[in-house]
Amino acid sequence: MLKNSTRLHIPEPGHRPGETPDLSHIKVPPAGEVRRPAEDTDPAEIRDLAWALIRVLDDAGNPVGDWNPGLPAALLEKGLRAMMLTRAYDARMVRVQRQGKTSFYMKSTGEEAVAVAAALALEYGDMCFPTYRQQGLLVARDWPLVDMMNQVYSNSRDRLKGRQMPVFYSSREAGFFSISGNLATQYSQAVGWAMASASESDSRIAAAWIGEGATAEGDFHHALTFASVYQAPVVLNIVNNQWAISSFSGIAGGERTTFASRGLGYGIPSLRVDGNDFLAVYAVTRWAANRARSGLGPTVIELFTYRAEGHSTSDDPSKYRPGAEAAAWPLGDPIERLKTHMIGAGLWDEERHAALEKELEDEVRAAGKESESYGTLKEGARIPASTMFDDVYKEMPPHLVEQRRQAGV
Amino acid sequence: MATMNMIEALNSAMDVALTRDPAVTIFGQDVGYFGGVFRATDGLQRKHGLTRVFDAPISEGGIVAVAVGMGAYGKRPVVEIQFADYIYPATDQLISEAARMRYRTGGEWWSPITVRSPYGGGIYGGQTHSQSPEGIFTHVAGLKTVIPSNPYDAKGLLIAAIEDDDPVLFFEPKRLYNGPFDGHHDRPVEPWSKHAASEVPEGHYVVPLGKANIVRAGSAVTVLAYGTMVHVALAAASETGIDAEVIDLRTLMPLDLETITQSVSRTGRCVVVHEATRTCGFGAELAALVQEHCFFDLEAPIERVTGWDTPYPHAFEWDYFPGPKRVGDALRRAMEA
């Protein structure tokens, strides 16, 4: 007989600051263990994959199992380069934020594979609906660093004309949809874009990203419902980096089941993947993209990773989680793991790696110097304040003409 | 020319838009096969096909989000929210996304979407089938808000809204769907066919956004109204014998300030009328603008006749709805001051 005693359960992470992190509860299955089903497999046959963890690179960096995408050396090198460039770019942007040259920045450290591998697995014309932590998409699509920096500095060459906070990039040309501060809104918009593409029998698909924290938003449910109902050609990525600012994934509903499994309730095939394994992320993205492009509908992918640094330059993670947790993360670092693989395959060596690191640092520094010559938030050239009244509407209505006059700009 | 009620005029506008522009796509709850709970999309799916006109899940936030995404692709979505009272789950997508898309991307992307929604009271709709939420949206930079008061304007404004490259909220006074209503609930309502504005061209035409219409010229006092209240204001003018100039705003944002100020500067008096609740309603903005622009011509305080600051009640429909008596009293007060 059950006792009549209710209690309110408040999820708490295993460890807080000052404690030694113990991540032994995270089950890391051996690489190569999970089968790779055919892309047109009946979704009912692969429900177990929503609780599995697709991994290609083993601890020694060897690619194993059905999911090994067998990528050519040039593509691996491109991926490694883009991940390293993203990390170098992040490092410089935090430095200039600390110097007061801009107001804010958000790194993607530890999550570079999530964006870069996906970008390389998608076609260039596919439209990405990112969050603020997929800058690697732009880098992997060879978007100029100077242009990204111009946005961070809100300088005279900022394509967003100084209107958006740093990192809220937008590039129609690079297939990188405008980032909004409002979480999850882009997730359901991506489904609409995919529906429009399908209604034109266009071969382009959409890909969307959301953090595990934002899966609690209504738009997550809207996106999955509409994607399922209309069988939209969209890849729905959930980046589970364990932390939503200070709240651990349990607060988002991660204690009872995986985030990938949420897709199953909507009838959407759902995969769970090692987000720090470049080859695995590439392989599952390609699998889902092929399904979408063949008219087989949407796929949910949970990318299991770890937010290695603070949420943003306004955040101090030492106030809510153990400092040693990132180092204890059992899935390691995406750049290190790909590097180990490439060295093991005889495609890379420490000397070339060090040389590339230096080359990318120089590239970032040169881009930074160029961008700063167009101004920073506090100094130098900037876009005239009169432009703040432009683009509210396609044509400026009379009341804005009048307010621009009153502003005296 | 054909004779149409407001529903038929709206249906005709969407038919014309679907025919002229392959990018126009219509969806919402019950709008596909069934043709809409108010019949506004009747026959459109049959004529234009499933992928142009289709049913949507009961998800206002999802409907508007999908429209924003389709707009980014290059479509021109026209979506329906079944009642304006149910638009709130979509406000994040409307306010944070659609309204700001052009601005936040420096013009790289925009949201050429039209959101149609039946609004307003006078139908015993109670709390969630009677609301007038226009003031929430006129407060948002980047949105346009349009409200027709007759079949001719309804079609011309809706075509203009669909063709507009900015996001437009198109509120349809459901009390006017079948015939004009002047607030005299105890009298039989005439069908639109007895009204001149039911003469509607069958093809393409537009009534430009941002232009008000003087529906009754007068010299004593200016009445600013829109939607159902245009007809109430006309009744009040006729019943009081006061020579009121009644202006149907038609578009609240962007507003035709010139027509308003020219009229008030001439009459020296102004009464603002709307169904929505008073405090921070659109009437407050109208009163402030008139005060700023016509202060030295005003001969009386600006009057506001609005819904009370309460949720819309069921049993007290006619105590709540600002009918011709309340508007007439305000006209007299404005004249006596």
Probe site for chain B from A195, A387, A402 (most B CB atoms < 10 A): A195
Q: What is the pLDDT of residue A25?
A: 87
Domain count, chain A: 2
Shared-domain flag, residues A259 and A396: no
CB A141 within 8 A of CB A89: no
Label the pairing between strands B221-225 and B199-200. Answer: unpaired
A373 is a domain residue: yes
A28 is a domain residue: no
> Quick one: how far is CA B186 from the chain centroid?
25
Shared-domain flag, residues A390 and A279: no
ipTM above 0.85, yes or no: yes
pLDDT at B263 over 80: yes
Which tens digits make up the pLDDT trace of A53-67?
999 999 999 999 999
Residue among B69, B100, B144 minimizing CB distance to A191: B69
Distance between CA atoms of residues B237 and B324, nearest Å: 9
Q: What is the pLDDT of residue A135?
A: 98
Residue among A172, A194, A225 minimizing CB distance to B62: A225
CATH number for the domain formed by residue range(s) B2-200: 3.40.50.970
Q: Do A394 and B165 touch (CB under 8 A)?
A: yes
Q: Do A393 and B166 touch (CB under 8 A)?
A: yes
B337 falls in which pLDDT band (50, 70, 90)? confident
Q: Do A170 and B110 touch (CB under 8 A)?
A: no
φ, ψ of residue B222 to 5 degrees: the values are -100, 130
**How do the domains of chain B map onto residue ranges?**
2-200, 213-336
Probe site for chain A from B54, B58, B95, B105 (most A CB atoms < 10 A): B105
Q: What is the pLDDT of residue B19?
A: 98
Shared-domain flag, residues A212 and A303: yes
Looking up residue A107, the CATH number of its domain turns out to be 3.40.50.970
A69 is a domain residue: yes
Shared-domain flag, residues A287 and A331: yes
Q: Calculate how close chain A gets to B214, using CA atoms only, in Å.
A: 20
Distance between CA atoms of residues B302 and A2, nearest Å: 68
Which tens digits make up the pLDDT trace of B38-65?
999 999 999 999 999 999 999 999 999 9
Burial of B64 (0-12, 13-18, 19+ CB in 10 A): buried
What average pLDDT does the segment B7-18 reach? 98
A13 is a domain residue: no
B168 falls in which pLDDT band (50, 70, 90)? very high
CB A195 within 8 A of CB B69: yes
Residue among A160, A196, A394 minimizing CB distance to B105: A160
Shared-domain flag, residues A129 and A249: yes
Q: What is the pLDDT of residue A14?
A: 92
Intrachain domains B2-200 and B213-336 with the same fold = yes
Average pLDDT, chain B: 98
Domain carrying residue A394: 385-409
Shared-domain flag, residues A138 and A287: yes
Average pLDDT, chain A: 97
B205 falls in which pLDDT band (50, 70, 90)? very high
Q: Do B65 and A206 touch (CB under 8 A)?
A: no
A121 is a domain residue: yes
CB A233 within 8 A of CB A215: no
**What residues of chain A score a pLDDT lower than 70?**
1
Please, which residues bridge with residue A273 across strands?
Answer: A54, A303
Shared-domain flag, residues A190 and A247: yes
Q: Catalytic residue at B129?
A: yes
Shared-domain flag, residues A63 and A152: yes
Q: What is the pLDDT of residue A54?
A: 98
Shared-domain flag, residues A301 and A409: no
CA gyration radius, chain A: 22
A32 is a domain residue: no
Which tens digits make up the pLDDT trace of B123-150?
999 999 999 999 999 999 999 999 999 9
Shared-domain flag, residues A133 and A186: yes
Distance between CA atoms of residues B238 and B325, nearest Å: 11
B164 contacts on A by Cβ (under 8 Å): 394
> Quick one: how far is CA A407 from the chain centroid?
39
Which tens digits make up the pLDDT trace of A157-193?
999 999 999 999 999 999 999 999 999 999 999 999 9
A51 is a domain residue: yes
Residues from A in contact with B at Cβ < 8 Å: 127, 129, 158-161, 163-164, 168, 170-172, 177-178, 180-182, 185, 188-197, 199, 206, 218-219, 222-223, 225-226, 229, 390-394, 397-399
CB B14 within 8 A of CB B26: yes
φ, ψ of residue A299 to 5 degrees: the values are -135, 140
When the candidates are 3.40.50.920, 3.40.50.150, 3.20.20.210, 3.40.47.10, the CATH number that belongs to B213-336 is 3.40.50.920
Q: Calculate how close chain B gets to A215, using CA atoms only, in Å.
A: 15
Q: Which 3 state secondary structure label does DSSP give A10? A: coil
Residue among B65, B142, B164 minimizing CB distance to A219: B65
Which tens digits make up the pLDDT trace of A28-78?
999 999 999 999 999 999 999 999 999 999 999 999 999 999 999 999 999
A195 is a domain residue: yes
Shared-domain flag, residues A337 and A402: no
Helix B228-240 to helix B324-336 angle (10° resolution) is 60
Shared-domain flag, residues A162 and A50: yes
